[in-house]
Chain A
Amino acid sequence: MSGPKETPQGASRYGMVIDLDRCNGCGACMVACAVENNVAPAPQRANDRNGITLLRVFPMRNGRDYPESRQVFVPMTCQQCDAPPCESVCPQHAVEFDWTTGIVAQIPVRCLGCRYCMVACPYHARAFNWWDPEWPEGMESTLNPDISTRSRGVAEKCNFCHHRRQVARERAAHEGREVREDEYQPACVEACPVGAIVFGDLNDPDSAVAKVYEAPDAFAFLDKLGTKPKIRYRSRQEWVHAMARQGVPEKEVTRG
């Protein structure tokens, strides 16, 4: 397992804070994510266990029955760990930790499809291409040219829309200036209708995300695993923190 190493001078460390008290589970982020990253619509037989949702909104419930039940919607995606368990397990370097951005990147063309990374990831944040991607006839023309499509048999995951950073950097370099914070925002952040997601450079103390990252109501999921995630969540509801600290498995769900 690789721990965080010495980061280069002037490097960024991108992170995200998601306010669970704001998210109403509309799913706009999930659609925007799929559109931005050229994820194909579900094949007919796909379901909630084998679909490709690089960002997935899970309901989290307090375990009590109506009307004491409460739920929040947890947008769960790659937590961009500083100590990513998926990176060290990949047998052929298809997962790379970028020390200049802190982004964990999946290189689909180097992926063998062994799925060991998916087993290693405690956030269930990785998806496997069980199918070849297929769009209805003509819909290929809506694909985003900044990112390639993936074939079947490889794993994929969120990379904070890394290609958007490239585009923003190129534009900024062309204009001879630094990238502004609002120029590089992942598609989900842009799509959230209620502004529940804040994204930016954690190394920049003036960034919006750095200001809320250490807020007293912020927490990370599974922080005791030592994965050092760079996505944190916020909620003022105590039961949310309690659930995040320790959850007990629910009943079993079979599908076959």
Chain B
Amino acid sequence: MKVSRRDMLMLLGGGAVGTIFSPIPWKLLRDSSVWTQNWPWIPVPKRGAAATAASACPLCPSACGVRVRTIGGRPVMVAGLPDAPGQRGALCAAGSGVHQLPWHPDRVRTPLRRVGGGSPGFEPASLEDAVGAIAAAIRETQGTVAILDGRPGRVLGGAYREFLSGRADTCVLVPPSAVRASMPVLRKLHTRDPGPLAVDLDVVDTIVGFSAPLLDGWGQPGLVQQRMHEGRLRLFQFEAVQSRTALMADRWIPITPGTERAVALGLARMLIRSGRVSPAFGYADFKAFVAAYEPWTPRRVFEVAGVDEATLTEVADALAPTGRVVAIGGGDPAGGPLPFEDEASIQVLNLLLGAMGQAVKAQRPLADDPADAASDRVATRDLCDVPDGSVGVLIADLAMAGATVPWPILARKMAPQGLLVSLTPVLADLALHAQWVIPTAPAFTAAHDCPGHPDLPRSLRLARGFTPAGDEVVDPVDLLNRLGTALGIERQATVADALDDMMALRLRALHRAGDGTVFVAGKDPVAMAEIDSPEDVLSMLRAGGCWRTALAAAASAEEPAVEAGDDQTETAPPRPAMPFALEQVAAKDSGGLVNGFQMYLIVGGGVERTAGVARSPILSKVDQESGLRPFANVARVNPATVASHGLRPNRRWRVSTPQGAITMRIEPDPTVPPGAILAGAEPQGALPWNAGNPVDLAAPDGKTWRLLPASITEA
């Protein structure tokens, strides 16, 4: 049969029409809608039994209580624990993503050895090799062997001390803190050493904040803000930048950057002259004290800090020496501490206001705490106080630090051939400079003890492990044990084999002391003395409970302030005329604008941007995807400065300090004072767009880096 062209066309045409009336096209259409919903590369959430567990957020010293929603045992959501003391159910953005950290893209999964010279490169290595190399370095070094404990107060700290006590020339290092540094000032003004102090925010009714990020990272922002809204707390904030805290404060008083001390001194003078000094303040040579403050006239304060007399008087008049008024400095956790002089001036203000013993109380020491073990044999030192080039081997544990350690400062402390070992769950920040990186358990994979902020009443929570950490994770105690064996160090009886055992030891000590109260969500608080056994304490803490020391009771017994009358009669030891040289507190250029550096770089970022606080990638919502908290590559500059310096926002700019430079984008921001550059710290160095961490522009010999002389040039 011959097929004609016509037949062919009819066949094709008929076939086409017929197909439309067949189920084929409709089935295809239907399927296409199914395909487009279920692409194989789009993950499908796993199902499972839903449950809720209480735990704690281990990321930073705020140690917030959290409620964890689990599906089949896997955490899928974290929220604040509503009944928790302290934070009252508040949880920050970083805490809201803490359950995702076990899958952080930069997670360290095996010990890493540094290879090559300049750019950071690592290769996987065995734990045996790591122990061998570190032990050899400890054996051979001429310098100090130190452990940098970013979160002092954990039981792990006890293990660190115990390990170091087996050797001469060792110390535990802690991140720089001016609050701690200013304690000697108080010691000099008192006959008795008050010991570590804590601010009791539940007692305070007025806070004078000196650039303290009270609502954005310091201590317990949730508590502060809720008390403010209840009308039980007033906040006067002296700060150069119109920060979130400044915005929410009852009164924000803008000051020239870096002049906190001038304001504090001026306020002190006003209090002295108006006779509103707490009777509890009894300085021996009061006349000399008053004379030292005399030069800080309102006029001088105005010249230095830009705060006029009327405003200063207004604040001073609102401050009554009731003991419920407290001045707080502290500095931004990421931006670093205030200079010592600022902090000391603030502490003197607290003395004058009678806050000592009322709003500010002595921490009661915890007897037999394994964390304090061997503290008499191993010194604890501020990183900045260690001689340059003296540290031969440094084991850095900054996980959950909630503080910043600039690399230039650390690098300067290291001996020329010094070995830096980083214990970290995530390869970021200082770990990128280490010779050895040891993988530790990320948040939510292992139980962590979460001690509270060192400047707040001592507290303890337990963070639970929800997700198996994986075999590759190294328990720091195990590492120390292996190192001890390699070095032939005699083991102390109190050293446990693992963190869990250490925790049991601590709970036993806590229970024995019988101090404080345990709060469990939805239940009445129970005094520690009424709890039967350490095991009961453990189960309460595991259920999301929080132990908190009974500070109020401790205060009356251990009143650190000395009555004025007593002080007169007592044969006091000879003291210097002034606690510190007020003369050092110079004019506003004391920050040191040096040749060519015409501006200030102010580093901020809050607790979320501190070293060791690993952030879940979902935090991209608040930085990368919204700019709500700009990255380190964004320099925020006052619009007037942008105009006067010709800083075009669509260009790239180099922000330089004497230490180095970072390329940034300019963003006009009227909340930044003219002449200043505000940048967020960015410790997660693996971010692809990250040019560097502004914190690393700190001067290597500095003790503070919150205000750096800087300049901007076009990149």
Partner of A109, one of B37, B221, B225: B37
* In the complex with contacts A24-B225, A139-B100, A142-B100, A44-B670 CB distance below 8 A: no
On whether the beta carbons of A141 and B242 are closer than 8 Å, the reply is: no
**Contact partner, A44, options B95, B222, B688, Cβ 8 Å:** B688
Which of A59, A142, A145, A150 is the one whose CB lies under 8 Å from B75?
Answer: A142
Considering the chains assembled together, what is the distance between the CA atoms of A66 and B77 in angstroms?
Answer: 39
Q: Which chain B residue shows the least CB distance to A151?
A: B42
Are B688's CB and A30's CB within 8 A? no
Q: Chain A residues near B150 (CB, 8 Å)?
A: none
Asked if A65 contacts B670 (CB within 8 A), the reply is yes
A230 to B39 Cα, complex, angstroms: 35
Bound Cα distance A36, B639 (Å): 38
A35 to B69, CA, bound (A): 11
- Is the C-beta of B494 less than 8 angstroms from some C-beta in chain A? no
Candidates A133, A145, A254; contact of B47 at CB < 8 Å: A145
Given contacts A132-B42, A142-B76, A144-B45, contact A26 B92 (CB under 8 A): yes
A-side interface mostly = loop
A194-B225 in contact (CB<8A):
yes
Whether B96 contacts A31 by the Cβ 8 Å rule is yes
B97 touches A132 (CB 8 A): no
Q: In the assembled complex, which residues on chain B have CB atoms less than 8 Å from the CB atom of A149?
A: 42-45
Cβ-closest chain B residue relative to A154: B36
Interface stretch (choices B376-384, B573-581, B612-620):
B612-620
Query: Which residues 80-137 in A have Cβ within 8 Å of B in the complex?
Result: 109, 132-133, 135-137
Kindly identify, within residues 206 to 256 of chain A, every residue whose CB is under 8 Å from any CB belonging to chain B. Answer: 253-254
Residue B21 at the A interface, CB < 8 A?
no
User: Do B45 and A41 touch (CB < 8 A)?
Assistant: no
A67 touches B46 (CB 8 A): no
Whether the pair A143, B629 counts as a contact (CB closer than 8 A) is no
| CB < 8 Å neighbour of B105 from A65, A133, A136 | A136
Please determine whether A42 and B625 come into contact, CB atoms closer than 8 angstroms: yes
Q: How far is the CA of A67 from the CA of B251 in the complex (A)?
A: 12
User: A44 → chain B, closest Cβ, in Å?
Assistant: 6
Report whether over half of chain B's contact residues are helix, strand or loop; otherwise say mixed: loop
Interface centre among B96, B97, B467 (most CB of A within 10 A): B96
A9 is an interface residue with CB less than 8 A from chain B: no
Contact A66 B670, CB 8 Å, known A27-B93, A48-B627, A191-B96: yes
Q: Which of A31, A36, A56 contacts B93 (CB 8 A)?
A: A31
Which residues of A (13-62) have their CB < 8 Å from a CB of B?
22, 24-28, 30-36, 38-39, 41-42, 44, 46-48, 51-53, 56-57, 59, 61
Contacts of B99 in A (CB 8 A): 142
Q: A residues within 8 A CB of B43?
A: 133, 135, 140, 143, 149
Partner of A254, one of B44, B222, B248, B650: B650
Asked if B74 and A52 sit within 8 Å, CB to CB, the answer is no
Asked if A26 and B216 make an inter-chain contact with CB atoms under 8 angstroms apart, the answer reads yes
The answer to whether B617 touches A136 (Cβ under 8 A) is yes
**Bound form: Cα–Cα A151–B33 in Å:** 12
Check: B89 CB closer than 8 A to any chain A CB. yes
Q: Write the chain B residue with the least CB distance to A63.
A: B670
**Does B628 have its Cβ within 8 Å of any Cβ on chain A?**
yes
* A56, B42: Cα distance in complex, Å: 24
Q: Does B226 contact A (CB under 8 A)?
A: yes
A61 contact set on B, CB distance < 8 A: 670-671
Listed by A's residue number, 8 A-B pairs whose Cβ atoms lie within 8 Å are A24-B225, A31-B97, A51-B626, A135-B103, A140-B43, A145-B46, A147-B45, A187-B79
* Known interface pairs A41-B616, A135-B103; 16 further A-B residue pairs with C-beta atoms within 8 A, sorted by A's residue number: A22-B229, A24-B247, A28-B91, A30-B626, A42-B621, A48-B624, A57-B622, A64-B670, A69-B670, A71-B671, A73-B628, A137-B103, A141-B467, A144-B76, A193-B225, A195-B229
